[in-house]
Homo-oligomer: A and B are copies of this chain.
Amino acid sequence: MAGSSFGTVFRITTWGESHGKALGVVIDGCPAGLPLEEADIQRYLDRRRPGTSSITTPRKEEDAVEILSGVFEGLTTGTPISLMVKNTSQISRDYSEIAAVYRPGHADYTFDKKYGFRDYRGGGRSSGRETVGRVAAGAIACKILERLGIFVCAYTRSIGPIQADMSRFDRAFILSSPTAMPDPEASMAAMAYLEETRHNTDSAGGCMECIVEGLPAGIGDPVFEKLDANLAKAVMSIGAVKAVEIGDGSLVSQRKGSENNDGFRAEDGRVTKTSNHAGGILGGISDGDILVVRAHVKPTPSIFLTQQTITRDMENTQINIKGRHDPIIVPRAVVVMECMTALTVLDAMMINMPAKLESLEQFYGKK
């Protein structure tokens, strides 16, 4: 089925495979009048690009974005924005083994079961390169949110056993850090851990977190279109994510109610909370506090150790994956999480506009 679209009023549709001619996204429903140029998007794409340190693949992905439609004289027109990134650096190599054998932890086997065959070059549509479209679209969502005073920020919370100490949170460091951690000390320890992991031809998992500041209360719809439900879908749809948490997340299952409830407090006409265990969402609707989402990411499945597996012809065999792979997925996935969060929040805000009859009447003029 059509599974490459996300969002209702602000909707994106991504396309493209790892080794096809190009990848891209169509953003439909973007409000008219937003100043937009390629540099706005390129800035985000550069954050998911590898080749910047020892822990990302040295493969050079230029990922230069091109705006093909939807922008006129520097402003979005309200009609679909088509963005394309050409695949320029995909090396022609021998895929005969990957074509015949299912790599553990990858989607090779499940794609074959679903579709009968697959584009096996570099993982095809199940490759991490699929996220190029998400990030290009998310850059636009982030730009709109910023104009509304809403800031989305994702970072690495932990790598293997190394946790970021949030008391050392340094926002500026996130973008310059090879680990995307906000804590310089933890980042250094994580780099050492990853070096060792790579030396052992193994890979490491990690945890990433995204916060949203400035979000007004009242966003999200009860029951099935809860803001946290849509965030869970958005974030779980990122390849390799195996758990999603809101606020204190899995910790709540061992808590007492008296420990977990956040009291409300009024100060100078503003509402605050005595704590934010809820992560800014109550009953699926934003409460005006900081939104907190977390995702646990599995280790890169491509490792160089010998692994038990089967061939397409159902023969048992062993595989030794070759090539160069990141020893960890998280640092490059952080910007993807930021973008998926921004897309979810913006769509919910646009949908929310007619929630009160009063708003509809003010907009169109009560008669």
Taking a contact as CB atoms under 8 Å apart, the answer to whether B244 and A32 are in contact is: no
Q: Which 5 A-B pairs have the closest CB atoms?
A: A107-B283, A149-B367, A3-B221, A3-B225, A203-B257
Q: How far is the CB of A257 from chain B (nearest CB, A)?
A: 3
The residue from B113, B204, B274 contacting A257, defined by CB atoms under 8 A apart: B204
Cβ contacts under 8 Å, A50 to chain B: none
Cβ contacts under 8 Å, A261 to chain B: 104-105, 301, 303, 307
Taking a contact as CB atoms under 8 Å apart, the answer to whether A197 and B256 are in contact is: yes
- Output the nearest chain B residue to A230 by Cβ-Cβ distance: B233
Taking a contact as CB atoms under 8 Å apart, the answer to whether B4 and A26 are in contact is: yes
Mask of A344-367 contacts with B, CB within 8 angstroms, 1/0: 000001111111111111011111
* Beta-carbon contacts under 8 Å, A215-267 to B: 216-226, 228-237, 239, 242-266
Q: CA separation between A17 and B67, bound complex, in Å?
A: 12
Q: How far is the CB of A208 from chain B (nearest CB, A)?
A: 9
Given A252-B299, A367-B147: A282 and B70 within 8 A (CB)? no
Taking a contact as CB atoms under 8 Å apart, the answer to whether B357 and A298 are in contact is: no
The residue from B6, B11, B266, B315 contacting A315, defined by CB atoms under 8 A apart: B266
What number of copies of this chain does the assembly contain?
4
Q: Report the contact-size class of chain A (Cβ under 8 Å from the partner).
A: 35 or more
Q: How far is the CB of A138 from chain B (nearest CB, A)?
A: 13
Q: How far is the CB of A87 from chain B (nearest CB, A)?
A: 10
A323 beta carbon closer than 8 Å to chain B: no
Taking a contact as CB atoms under 8 Å apart, the answer to whether B72 and A119 are in contact is: yes
Q: CA separation between A153 and B105, bound complex, in Å?
A: 25
- Output the nearest chain B residue to A288 by Cβ-Cβ distance: B113
Q: CA separation between A144 and B202, bound complex, in Å?
A: 43
A78 beta carbon closer than 8 Å to chain B: yes
A332 beta carbon closer than 8 Å to chain B: no
Given A111-B283, A309-B264: A105 and B257 within 8 A (CB)? yes
Q: How far is the CB of A124 from chain B (nearest CB, A)?
A: 7
Taking a contact as CB atoms under 8 Å apart, the answer to whether B356 and A33 are in contact is: yes
A91 beta carbon closer than 8 Å to chain B: no
